[in-house]
Structure 1
Amino acid sequence: MNWEQLLSLKRFGDTNKRLRKEQDETRLGFEVDYDRIIFSSEFRSLQDKTQVIPLSQTDFVHTRLTHSLEVSVVGRSLGRKVGIKLLEKYPHLQNIHGYHANDFGAIVASAALAHDIGNPPFGHSGEKAIGEFFKSGAGKKYKEQLSPKEYQDLCDFEGNANGFKILTESRVGREGGLRLSYATLGAFMKYPKESLPKKPTKHIADKKYGFFQSEKEAFLDVVTDLGLISRSETDISYARHPLTYLVEAADDICYTIIDFEDGINLGLIQEEYALEYLIKLVRNTLNIQKYNELSNTQDRISYLRALTINTLINEAVDIFIKNEEAILKGEFSSALLDKSMYEAQINDIIKISIDNVYNSPEVLDKEVSGFEVLKTLLHIYTTAVNNNFDGTLTEFDKIILKKLPNTINTEEESLYKRLLSVCNYVSVLSDSKAIMEYKKIKGLSFNI
């Protein structure tokens, strides 16, 4: 892979190549990507979606939106720092083609901003709930009418693939989705493969999948333009865009440290754990006098968090540059922080978060409720949409169809696309909206 091709400014529908040196410096193409994501309705819905603590009423616990903004900020720093070093190594990128270090930052920031845009309500349990509906619930009856890959898409409903669908799916008046640059789309794709075969290797790019069968053509268009390396002779599987490693590192840094911080602020993790584990990461940069002057838990944890994030940003940049040639060849097979000198400390922090936050009664109780909400919505909506297509509508189905948006094509001949459109609609609901729709269906929203 080569950087000139990887930094493509092309957008869906372009017939001519967009040259970096011809860009308007006041609003660069990669920065337009950021703007389009920010103003999308799908991004706005993240303000009421679970990060870790579902439906928390406290003002310091992160939602998917605040998490995405923070990942974007970290990603921008990672991209700029890497960009400076790459332009020193490949001066022609700047001297001939006009690229700047901030371009790398803008691409990573945009991809990082969108990294959770496809996640359904109720966190990762929402993905599992949708998958279970088709794997062992009422949706299992559709298995024989779908191809193996179509059915696997539904059984392992994946937020990353759904995100790619949101960013690229054409509909009337919105051809090409958000029409992001292919560089940003490439950096967004953490798992550039289809749902089958499942985890064929231990390579990080094979951990999950990155596109639904409905977006296969769009995916192939992007990877071809970027010159990504094919990793399979029989199935659709490609090496990652190099900047994807930075998007992933930004996410890893934020959820590792900030979920830990949320747990401490909620009282689920004792402060002394934070001191013990975070200080191990910042011994060389900690100002003891300043730290001792901080009078409350939140300020002390915030100070350690800021130092820790800075430490891990510099660590990730060093690992990326050290392995850049292997990354360009598609031969780097792990996440950047898996190669970190702080891997043991990071794993210790994650384990504490799993034990005390992710598996806390508050989280588990609301995940159970989320399963029931999504199972009910999927059953009611898929039944109505398919009964409409089959000409067997009930009176209840007719009412439900009036409530569904016209983004669901009830006349679509493909059963797979009908089912996927319902899943996509449910996935973009906020936590509160999903619960409200569930209560309406169950007759629990009347004021008597």
Structure 2
Amino acid sequence: MHWEQLLSLKRQGDTFKRLRKEQDETRLGFEVDYDRIIFSKAFRSLQDKTQVIPLSKTDFVHTRLTHSLEVSVVGRSLGRIAGKKIVEKHPYLSEIHGYKFNDFGAIVAAAALSHDIGNPPFGHSGEKSIGEFFKTGAGKKYQSVLSKKEYQDIIDFEGNANGFKLLTESKEGVSGGLRLSYATLGAFMKYPKESLPKKPTKHIADKKFGFFQSEKEAFINVANELGLKQTRNGDKVSYARHPLTFLVEAADDICYTIIDFEDGINLGLISEDYALEYLIKLVKDSINTKKYNSLVYREDRLSYLRALAINTLITDAIDIFITNEDAILKGDFHVSLLDKSTYAAQIKDIITLSVNKVYKAQEVIEKEIAGYKIISDILDVYSSALINEKENKASNYDRLMISTLPKFYQRTEISLYNILLNTCCYVASLSDSAAVHIHNKIMGKQLN
């Protein structure tokens, strides 16, 4: 893979070349990507979507929105630092093509900003509840009328694939979705494969999948434009990652490792003593003990340790990325950057503590259980209504329910697969509160 191709400014539907050296420096194409994402409806809905604690009533616990903004900030730093080293190593990028180190930061920041844009309400349990409705619930009856890959798309409903759909899907009057640059779309594509075969190797890019069958053509188009390395042939669509995806992933890994841990401390699920013990292991080489001891309030002490820990992991991730640049460009780097981290043991300890104390906390479990029921019931009502309408069997209740959907999701002239997938994507688009509100109406608990 080659950087000058990987940094493509092309957008879906372009009929002309977008050359970096002809870009307006006051409004660079990669920065336009960031603006389009942040002003999108899908991004705004993240303000009321669970990061770890579903339906939290506290104001210091992260939502998908605050998490995405923080990941974007870390991603920008990773991209800029890596970009500076790459441009120094490959001066032709600047001298011939006009690329600058800030371009890398802008691409990674935009991709990182959108990395959770396709995630359903109620955290990761939201993805699982959508899948299980079709795998073991009432939606299993549709298996016989779907292809294997179509069925796999919905029983393993994937936020990353839904994100790619949101960013690229054409609608009436809006061709190409947000029309982001292919470089940003490439960096966003964390798992550049389709849903089958499932986990064919231990390669990090094979862990999940990155597009639904409905976006297969768009995905291949982006991959080919960027010159991504094809890793499987025939009817098995799979590519090596865009190199900058590793930086997007590292930004996410750094933030959720440190910040989910911080949320647990702020909620009282993890004691501050643990925080000191675990975080200081990460920052022992950079901490200013005198400054730390002068901080009176817990929030200030945590903030100081968090900043040092994030900076430590950024520096470490960059070293790993640059050291392995050649292997990454060849598609031969098979793990996440932090899996190679000098601090891998400390990261593992922090994540293990977060899992045991935060992710498995009773409050989290109880709300995830409620989320399963809410999502299953909403899926059942809407999928049944839409399929009945397609088959001319709709009841008055079915038609009433369909009328409550946004126009785009009311369509029944499309294939059964697309009706079911659209229903999943509609449910995934809901914020936590909106899902609760709709469920209350379905259950007759709320009349306004």
TM-score range normalised by the length of the shorter chain: over 0.9
Q: Hey, what does 2:394 align to over in structure 1?
A: 393
- Cα distance in 2 for partners of 1:58, 1:413 equals 43
Q: Hey, what does 2:70 align to over in structure 1?
A: 70
Secondary structure at 1:98 match in 2 = coil
- Cα distance in 1 for partners of 2:4, 2:93 equals 7
**In the alignment, is residue 160 of structure 1 matched against residue 160 of structure 2?**
yes
Secondary structure at 1:380 match in 2 = helix
Per-residue deviation, 1:412 = 2.7
- Cα distance in 2 for partners of 1:436, 1:203 equals 41
- Cα distance in 1 for partners of 2:233, 2:201 equals 14
**In the alignment, is residue 283 of structure 1 matched against residue 284 of structure 2?**
yes
Secondary structure at 1:54 match in 2 = coil
Kept after mapping to 2: 8 A contact 1:50/1:122: yes
Give CA-to-partner distance per residue, 1:86-119, whole Å, 9 cap, x none: 0110001001111000000000000000000000
Q: Hey, what does 1:35 align to over in structure 2?
A: 35
- Cα distance in 2 for partners of 1:224, 1:409 equals 33
Give CA-to-partner distance per residue, 1:123-156, whole Å, 9 cap, x none: 0000000000000001000000000000000000
Q: Hey, what does 1:319 align to over in structure 2?
A: 320
- 5+ long unaligned stretches in structure 2: none
- Cα distance in 1 for partners of 2:48, 2:415 equals 32
Please list, as runs of the form range in 1=range in 2, the aligned pairs for 1:17-416 lying within 5 A after superposition. Answer: 17-234=17-234, 235-416=236-417
Per-residue deviation, 1:413 = 3.3
Give CA-to-partner distance per residue, 1:59-108, whole Å, 9 cap, x none: 11000000000000000000000000001100010011110000000000
Amino acid at match of 2:208: K
- Cα distance in 2 for partners of 1:69, 1:174 equals 26
| Runs of 4+ residues over 6 Å off in structure 1 | none
Normalising to structure 1: TM-score of the pair? 0.99
**In the alignment, is residue 12 of structure 1 matched against residue 4 of structure 2?**
no
Per-residue deviation, 1:231 = 0.6
Per-residue deviation, 1:329 = 0.2
Kept after mapping to 1: 8 A contact 2:387/2:412: no
Give CA-to-partner distance per residue, 1:174-196, whole Å, 9 cap, x none: 10000000000000000000000
- Cα distance in 2 for partners of 1:407, 1:99 equals 39
- Cα distance in 2 for partners of 1:126, 1:390 equals 29
- Cα distance in 2 for partners of 1:22, 1:328 equals 26
Per-residue deviation, 1:409 = 4.5
Per-residue deviation, 1:398 = 1.2
- Cα distance in 2 for partners of 1:2, 1:398 equals 52
Aligned residues: 447
User: What RMSD, in angstroms, separates the aligned Cα atoms of the two structures?
Assistant: 0.7
Secondary structure at 1:243 match in 2 = helix
Comparing 244-253 with 291-300, greater Cα deviation is found at 291-300
Kept after mapping to 1: 8 A contact 2:120/2:159: yes
Amino acid at match of 1:349: I
Give CA-to-partner distance per residue, 1:231-286, whole Å, 9 cap, x none: 11231010000000000000000000000000001000011111011001111110
Secondary structure at 2:18 match in 1 = coil
Kept after mapping to 1: 8 A contact 2:403/2:410: no
Kept after mapping to 2: 8 A contact 1:189/1:241: yes
Amino acid at match of 1:305: R
- Cα distance in 1 for partners of 2:222, 2:403 equals 36
Per-residue deviation, 1:410 = 2.4
Kept after mapping to 2: 8 A contact 1:386/1:410: no
- Cα distance in 1 for partners of 2:117, 2:339 equals 25
Kept after mapping to 1: 8 A contact 2:158/2:209: yes
Amino acid at match of 1:26: T
Normalising to structure 2: TM-score of the pair? 0.99
Comparing 53-62 with 362-371, greater Cα deviation is found at 53-62
- 5+ long unaligned stretches in structure 1: none
Per-residue deviation, 1:57 = 1.1
Q: Hey, what does 1:424 align to over in structure 2?
A: 425
Secondary structure at 2:409 match in 1 = coil
Secondary structure at 2:211 match in 1 = coil
Per-residue deviation, 1:299 = 1.1
- Cα distance in 2 for partners of 1:14, 1:202 equals 37
Per-residue deviation, 1:411 = 2.5
Give CA-to-partner distance per residue, 1:9-48, whole Å, 9 cap, x none: 0000012220000000000000000000000000000000
- Cα distance in 2 for partners of 1:21, 1:300 equals 45
Secondary structure at 1:60 match in 2 = coil
Kept after mapping to 1: 8 A contact 2:111/2:187: yes
Per-residue deviation, 1:390 = 0.5
- Cα distance in 2 for partners of 1:233, 1:27 equals 39
- Cα distance in 2 for partners of 1:393, 1:236 equals 37
Secondary structure at 1:408 match in 2 = helix
Q: Hey, what does 1:435 align to over in structure 2?
A: 436
Give CA-to-partner distance per residue, 1:295-333, whole Å, 9 cap, x none: 122111111000000000000000000000000000000
Amino acid at match of 1:251: D
Kept after mapping to 2: 8 A contact 1:192/1:209: yes
Kept after mapping to 2: 8 A contact 1:30/1:184: yes
Secondary structure at 1:407 match in 2 = helix
- Cα distance in 2 for partners of 1:156, 1:129 equals 10
- Cα distance in 2 for partners of 1:439, 1:160 equals 28
- Cα distance in 1 for partners of 2:84, 2:411 equals 50
- Cα distance in 2 for partners of 1:443, 1:409 equals 22
